[in-house]
A and B are shown apart, each in its own frame.
Chain A
Amino acid sequence: AQSVTQPDIHITVSEGASLELRCNYSYGATPYLFWYVQSPGQGLQLLLKYFSGDTLVQGIKGFEAEFKRSQSSFNLRKPSVHWSDAAEYFCAASLLVGADGLTFGKGTHLIIQP
């Protein structure tokens, strides 16, 4: 079955430190990949997406993600986190046009220490 896994439920990072959030997918073919961010009590906002081509994707708010086919991964990174980055982060994937839609991971809760 198609699935998206985010291995880390919680991650704590000091402000100014670098960040990497992990995402692995299990699909028969390379899916389209997305990262979303959710602030408490809010909807989800798209950070970035990967369709094809350059495996390093730049997004909003200084985030980037790297697609690695050999590892079935699409990890999200940021060189230096800010307190405002504290939120829930969701990785998502989809395969075919006309499919049910996106398959979401269960999310990673990012905590920023001062």
Chain B
Amino acid sequence: DGGITQSPKYLFRKEGQNVTLSCEQNLNHDAMYWYRQDPGQGLRLIYYSQIVNDFQKGDIAEGYSVSREKKESFPLTVTSAQKNPTAFYLCASSIDRGGPYEQYFGPGTRLTVT
């Protein structure tokens, strides 16, 4: 089955620690995205990538970093510089960016930082 895998489902960290969220897709999609979701805020774009070794900041990139070393993988690191990291994080992919191409979403990772 083709799809997007995010792991783990729940993640707990102490304040001041960096944490990396995994995102893998086997849909052969070029574009991948990371969103943050907070209650009442909708989805806010953190980073996106069109091709391997290239990525762009979204609306709320501060305190986050990404890499795209393989087409299938787009991990997100939440650094200690992120002031309010507790949130639900969603990874998505699409054939291409924008236009008529819908995004396919993973199941999400809920990060809690205390």
Contact pick for B90, options A9, A44, A98, A107, CB 8 Å: A44
B98 in contact with A34 (CB, 8 Å) = no
CB of B68 within 8 Å of the partner chain: no
- Given A97-B97, A97-B98, is A42 in contact with B41 using a C-beta cutoff of 8 Å? no
Enumerate chain A residues within 8 angstroms of B102, measured Cβ to Cβ.
34, 46, 49
B48 in contact with A101 (CB, 8 Å) = yes
Bound CA span A106–B98, Å: 19
Query: Closest residue to B41 on the A side, CB-wise?
Result: A106
CB of B113 within 8 Å of the partner chain: no
Residue count of chain A within 8 Å CB distance of chain B: 26
Bound CA span A105–B56, Å: 22
B99 in contact with A98 (CB, 8 Å) = yes
How many residue-residue contacts, CB under 8 A, span A and B?
74
Residue count of chain B within 8 Å CB distance of chain A: 30
CB of A100 within 8 Å of the partner chain: yes
The winner among B6, B31, B98, B107 for most chain A CB atoms within 10 A is B98
Query: Closest residue to B50 on the A side, CB-wise?
Result: A98
Query: Closest residue to A45 on the B side, CB-wise?
Result: B105
Q: Mark B19-62, 1 if CB is under 8 A from A, else 0.
A: 00000000000010100000011110100100000001010000
Residues of chain A having any CB pair with chain B under 8 Å: 9, 32, 34, 36, 41-46, 49, 51, 90, 94-102, 104-107
CB-defined A-B contacts under 8 Å, sample of 10 = A42-B107, A43-B6, A43-B106, A46-B102, A97-B101, A100-B58, A100-B98, A101-B45, A101-B94, A102-B103
Residues of chain B having any CB pair with chain A under 8 Å: 4, 6, 31, 33, 40-43, 45, 48, 56, 58, 88, 90, 92, 94, 96-108, 110
